[in-house]
Structures are given as C-alpha cells and as structure tokens.
Amino acid sequence: MKPTFDLTLYLVTDSGLNAAASLPDAVEQAIKGGVTLVQLREKTADSRDFYEKALQVKAVTDRYGVPLIINDRLDIAQAVNAAGVHLGAEDIPVDAARKILGDDKIIGATAKTLAQALAAEKNGADYLGCGAMYLSTAKPGALPMSKETLSEILAAVHIPVVAIGGISERNVQEIIPLGVNGVAVVSAIIAQEDITAAAARLRRLIDESNISG
C-alpha cells in the first residue's frame, strides 16, 4: 500500500549546506521542528555513498514515521525501500518509473510549466514540485516561476503541489495563500545553526497562513 504523505513542510537535504554534525542528525532535528516529508538529494555522491546515507537517514525517518523520498535515483530508493522518488525534467519519465516501482511507491515530479504539470499528472505522479519561486542558494541557476504560472498549475491539476525555490521565513506567507499543499525548503532549514528552531518557525508561519487563508 502506498504510504500517506504530508507536504506541509518538505525538507530537501544538501550535505554541502548542512550545519549539523551529520546528515542524519540534521534530519532528526528538522523532524523535531515540524518537517513532514524528507527528500534525500545528493547530487555529487557516488552510488555507494548515496546508498549509505540513504540507509542512515531512513533509520531516522522510520523512527519518526516520516516518509523518505529519494531524489532521482530509483535504484537507491529500491535498495533502501524508501517511500518513493522525486523526478526532475531530465530524469526517467514518470510513467517509466511507475512501471519499475509499482503502485505502492510515491512518485513526485518537478513541473516548471503548465504543460509539464499536466503531463506529470497524466503519467501517474502523486505530487508536483513547482518552482523556483525565488532565487535559491541550493540551485542558483534555477529559472524563477511566476506566481501566475503556479496559480495556473494549481487550478489545472488534481494532485497535491509543493512550492520550492528560495522559500524562507521572509516569504513563505506569500506562497501558502496561493493554495499550495506545502513548501519544500533546503537552506532555510538545513543551513541554520539551530535546525529544529528554524523548522519550527517555518511550520508556525505555514500553519498561521493556512488558518488565516
């Protein structure tokens, strides 16, 4: 059975920005602060290193009952029995990934345009990651997405949408009222000196926006 998942506060890891003693420690601190979903993204790790990190992080996410999503790598997701994968535009297509992983895994897809969003939904994605909403230190070359494009996607699809890209305490309350199901963040949590406190502040702002919206 496919795991249930909550996109409210979605942590995307980056070992290069990690302010904690270790990646598992950072993930645990973030979950204690209110993170609801974790994506392990290790763009520069070799396969063995990625696999070892995935095992270590999954031990933490399992302990707290938080799903672990693996960025790009279907083989790593299968090897550690992660909850699912997140696929970018240059990765294996969603429908091909679904054939490999089956119906019991979560598949998220990046969508930067309305056409990409509709195609991902049609091909079996469980949720969409849309952005970059703002300039991002984690992906400095990412092209920005307008709020108008995000709103078009939200109006057109029937699967959950998480906004990503440069989202922080300063701007998160501009994004939530647009109707997204949550926000995905990297440096706003993992690069902070007190990861738990940073996650808790973001979660409180999100919750306040949902109440007021």
Does 14 have pLDDT greater than 90? yes
pLDDT score, position 74: 97
Q: For 174-197, what is the mean pLDDT? A: 97
* Domain-located, residue 2: no
* Domain-located, residue 58: yes
- Share above pLDDT 70 across residues of the chain, in percent, rounded to a whole number: 97
Does 68 have pLDDT greater than 80? yes
pLDDT score, position 93: 97
Q: For 14-40, what is the mean pLDDT? A: 97
Could you give the number of structural domains in the chain? Answer: 1
* Domain-located, residue 175: yes
* Domain-located, residue 4: no
Domain that holds residue 80: 9-212
* Domain-located, residue 1: no
* Domain-located, residue 102: yes
CATH code for the domain in which residue 64 is found: 3.20.20.70
SS (H, E, C) the chain: CCCCCCCCEEEECCCCCCCCCCHHHHHHHHHHHCCCEEEECCCCCCHHHHHHHHHHHHHHHHHHCCCEEEECCHHHHHHHCCCEEEECCCCCCHHHHHHHHCCCCEEEEECCCHHHHHHHHHCCCCEEEECCCCCCCCCCCCCCCCHHHHHHHHHHCCCCEEEECCCCCCCHHHHHHHCCCEEEECHHHHCCCCHHHHHHHHHHHHHHHHHHC
- 78-135: per-residue pLDDT in tens? 999 999 999 998 999 999 999 999 999 999 999 999 999 999 999 999 999 999 999 8
Q: For 30-40, what is the mean pLDDT? A: 98
Does 209 have pLDDT greater than 70? yes
- Higher pLDDT: 136 or 78? It is 78
* Domain-located, residue 130: yes
- The pLDDT confidence band at residue 211, using thresholds 50, 70 and 90, is low
* Domain-located, residue 3: no
